[in-house]
Structures are given as C-alpha cells and as structure tokens.
C-alpha cells in the first residue's frame, strides 16, 4: 500500500498517487463567533475582582495602617498621674521564660513575664498575649503572660529567666521591650504595617490588569488565539516578573508613593520586552497556513475527526476517508464501514493551527485544522499535518479537479 505524499509537495509525476491543484492555497480568515468572544468573560471577571480587591487594600487598609504608624510615632509618654491607651505606658517586668516555637518551617520567639509592676493608674484597653497565660486573681488583664517578639535579636537573645526589663504599651498592646539599653519591637509593632497590604495590592493590580488586558485583546482580535506556546509563555513571564518586582518594592522603599513609582519604572522594560517578543512572533509566523490541495486518486484512510454541530460529526469517529470527490468520517481504522460522508455543501475556508476555543478535546501536537463552512454552520476537520492536503483535495468538487493519472488505493 502506498503512503500519501507530503502536503508540502506542489507537483507530482504521472506515476504519483496524488496530484497538485493549480489554484492558490486557501488562506482567507473568518472572524470569531459570538461563542468565541464569550470566552473573554472569565478573564474579565477575574481581573475585575482582583482590581477591586487591590483598590480596597490601597484605599482602605493601607491608609489605616499608615495612620496607625503616624499615631504611634507621635504618641508621647504617659504622665505619671494618668495612664491612657493613646500614650506610651512603660512598666517593669521580670523575664520568666524565653522560648523559640518551631512550627511549619517557621520560628516564633516568645518572652514570658512575671512580677509586672504597673504605674499608678489603670491600663485600659485589650492586651494581647500568647497561648500560655498565667491568670492573676487581682489584675488579670493588666499584662500578658508572654508576648511574641519580632525576631531573635537583640533583646530575646540577651535575656535569661530572672532578667529585668521594661515593657512599653500603646493602645493596649506591648509594642517593644527594653533591656540594658537594647530595644526590640514585638510582633505588634505598628511601624511598616502598610508594607504587606501594599505589596499584595500591587501584585493583585498586576495580575488583574493582565487578565483585563487578555480579555480586551480576546474581544478585539480578529481571530481566537492558537495553540502556540509563545502566546502563553510571554504574557505569563511578563506578569510573573512584574508581580515579583512589585511585591518587593514596598520593602525596599520608605513610603507608598516611592513604591508605586518604582513599580511603574520596573514594569516599563518588562512590558517593552514582552511587546517586542510578541511583535517579533507575529512577523515571523502567520495564523493561516498555506497548503496546496492534493487530490487522491484512490481511497486513503488516515486519523482525523470532524467537529461541529452537523449530523456527520460523531464522537468516536477518529478516522477520515479521502477519495476523489469524497470525504467521510469513520470509526474503522481501515475505513471500510460506518462511513459518514460530508455533503457537497461543505466548503473549505482555510487551514490554521488549533485554537483554545475549538470544540472537542485538545488535538495532538502538530495537528492542523481545516476550517470549513456548511452553509452558516462552522465545521472543523482536525487531522495530522501530512494529511491536510488530502482533506482539501477531497473537498474539491469534481468540476474543479484536473484529469487524474493512474489509479490506486492507499490506506494507513
């Protein structure tokens, strides 16, 4: 049995099994359907949600943490005769324990206190403490039994059980401890509290903006995206780089405006590089594939499927039969039974790579799609690259064909 000639061939000898058409290769395009455009809804919704969350962080959470930081920096020491949560209240305490708690690859440092000597007035407000709490029948809410420190140095590493130190409260929480001229802040330190929500907001803005841009391009483009790796890798790499850079800017800058400016400056070269790569790929590759039709002289059976809302599209029919003036789908690898021929109204439009929005399962790598029309109904013939020319040749009407030379039957 003879194998089909490769579609790249444009001429054949008289003894060849297939002939080349004199007509130009099919290469006109069709705009996407409303179903294809509806695929932009998912990234649009995701992008809108991410942008809304980022806006809430930027307009609500970040200003609130900045106000708290400024209030803490401006808070004076409490007068001797009065204790208030809006001023800094310092008390003496004795260290009872210094424990490092290891959980989930992280280490938490806790200082335990006893014999806390409060000032002359009551300390109002809620005091946070660790899970190990020692209850006092007289002053149960005045001081926590232990506090979580921000790191190991300098105070945590220097104190021992029995060491005396000073605790400074503000708004009901221990903000820092002092020991022999050393100061270490606790986990309740309000300084820099804006950095984490700002970093999260910048990342969400980057990803949300990319989703909205993807939805916009999907709606505006003339055709849906093909299964080409660069269409996915280039945007993902750009978003990943911008997101990582944006997340780090709040930690290396001293304020919100500087972080925003640095993020914008860093995003410019990344976006420029992504645009350059995209333009380069668009110039180097085309979506429509030029294929010269080859008319089979006999029957040829090869892998392929017909997809679309037409009666000759059946699930499980994974082979095609191409013959002069005949194209049919069949579940038989030999193509001998259960043939479902396509009607004469089926017209080939062009050859292209598979699209993400095509119906049916994702085809194998290297497959091509013969985009057709049966009246107003789109039909997709998916097959391997070497058989695409046979599909085009089989779809030609007998009046369009040239006189054939020889005869034969080819099956795969």
Start-to-end CA distance of the chain, whole Å, equals 8
The greatest distance separating any two alpha carbons of the chain, rounded to the nearest whole angstrom, comes to: 114
Domain ranges across the chain: 18-29+290-411, 35-54+195-284, 71-185
- Which tens digit of pLDDT belongs to each residue from 233-289? 888 999 999 999 999 999 999 899 999 999 999 999 999 999 998 888 766 666 788
Q: Which has more confidence, 128 or 70?
A: 70
C-alpha 149/C-alpha 365 separation (Å) is 55
Least confident residue range of 70-84, 193-207, 289-303 = 70-84
**Quick check: helix, strand or coil at residue 177?**
strand
Average pLDDT over residues 317-334: 92
Question: What percent of the chain is modeled with pLDDT above 90?
Answer: 52
Number of alpha carbons in the 13 Å side-chain half-sphere of residue 26: 21
Indicate whether 226 pLDDT > 60: no
Number of H helices, E strands in the chain: 8, 16
C-alpha 217/C-alpha 356 separation (Å) is 14
Average pLDDT over residues 383-401: 82
DSSP-assigned beta bridge partners for residue 182: 179
C-alpha 42/C-alpha 14 separation (Å) is 54
pLDDT category at 124 given cuts 50, 70, 90 is very low
CB contact at 8 A, 327 and 299: no
pLDDT category at 384 given cuts 50, 70, 90 is very high
CB contact at 8 A, 73 and 104: no
- Which tens digit of pLDDT belongs to each residue from 138-169? 343 445 688 999 999 999 999 999 999 999 99
């Amino acid at each position: 049995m003879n194998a089909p000639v490769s579609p790249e061939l444009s001429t054949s000898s008289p003894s060849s099994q297939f002939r080349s058409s004199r007509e130009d290769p099919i290469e006109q395009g069709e705009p996407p359907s409303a179903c294809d455009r509806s695929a932009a809804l998912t990234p649009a919704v995701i992008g809108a949600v991410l942008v809304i969350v980022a806006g809430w962080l930027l307009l609500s959470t970040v200003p609130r943490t900045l106000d708290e930081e400024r209030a803490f920096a401006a808070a004076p020491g409490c007068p001797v005769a009065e204790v208030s949560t809006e001023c800094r209240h310092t008390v003496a305490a004795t260290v009872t324990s210094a424990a490092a708690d290891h959980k989930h690859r992280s280490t938490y440092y806790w200082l335990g206190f006893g014999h806390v000597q409060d000032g002359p007035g009551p300390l109002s407000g809620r005091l946070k403490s660790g899970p190990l709490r020692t209850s006092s029948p007289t002053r149960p809410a005045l001081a926590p039994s232990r506090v979580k420190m921000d790191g190991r140095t300098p105070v945590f590493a220097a104190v021992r059980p029995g060491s005396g130190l000073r605790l400074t409260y503000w708004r009901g929480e221990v903000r820092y401890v002092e020991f022999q001229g050393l100061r270490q802040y606790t986990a309740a330190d309000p300084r820099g509290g804006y950095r984490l929500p700002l970093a999260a907001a910048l990342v969400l803005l980057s990803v949300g903006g990319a989703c909205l841009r993807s939805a916009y391009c999907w709606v505006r483009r003339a055709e849906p995206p093909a299964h080409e790796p660069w269409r996915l890798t280039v945007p993902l790499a750009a978003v990943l780089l911008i997101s990582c850079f944006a997340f780090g800017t709040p930690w290396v800058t001293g304020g919100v405006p500087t972080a925003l400016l640095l993020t914008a400056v860093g995003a410019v070269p990344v976006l420029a590089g992504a645009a350059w790569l995209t333009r380069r790929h668009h110039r180097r590759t085309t979506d429509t594939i030029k294929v010269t039709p080859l008319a089979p002289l006999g029957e040829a059976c090869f892998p392929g499927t017909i997809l679309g809302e037409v009666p000759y599209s059946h699930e499980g029919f994974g082979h095609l039969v191409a013959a002069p003036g005949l194209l049919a789908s069949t579940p038989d690898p030999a193509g001998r039974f259960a043939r479902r021929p396509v009607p004469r109204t089926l017209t080939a439009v062009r050859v292209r790579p598979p699209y993400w929005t095509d119906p049916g399962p994702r085809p194998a790598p290297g497959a091509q799609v013969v985009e057709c029309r049966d009246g107003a109904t789109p039909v997709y013939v998916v097959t391997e690259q070497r058989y695409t020319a046979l599909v085009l040749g089989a779809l030609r009407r007998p009046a369009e064909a040239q006189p054939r030379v020889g005869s034969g039957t080819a099956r795969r």
